Amino acid sequence: MDDHIERGGIPRKFECGAPTIMLESKTAQNPGRRFYRCGKIYGPNHVFMWLDEAHHEELGILEVNKQ
């Protein structure tokens, strides 16, 4: 088992078809904080979700103005 990866509520793929990946934040605000994101594109309408918040089984999709 991958004990470092939470299971449940985390789809392996999203609508764009790219696999979800888990990374570790390097920012000063969130040092070492793990998050999921779209494995292909980092940007609007692709998944971004903090691992700890994923426990709430909600997906955070970056929202922007759609043109």
Q: Which residues bind Zn ion (CB under 5 A)?
A: 16, 18, 38, 41, 46
| Smallest separation, CB 54 to Zn ion (Å) | 16
Contact at 8 Å (CB) between 51 and 33? yes
Task: Using alpha carbons, select from 63, 54, 61, 62 the residue that is nearest to residue 35.
Answer: 54
Between residues 5 and 16, which has the closer beta carbon with respect to Zn ion? 16
Residue nearest to Zn ion (CB): 38
Residues 6+ apart with CB under 8 A from 6: 51, 54, 55
Q: Closest CB to Zn ion among 29 and 67?
A: 67
Q: Which is nearer to Zn ion, 38 or 51 (CB)?
A: 38
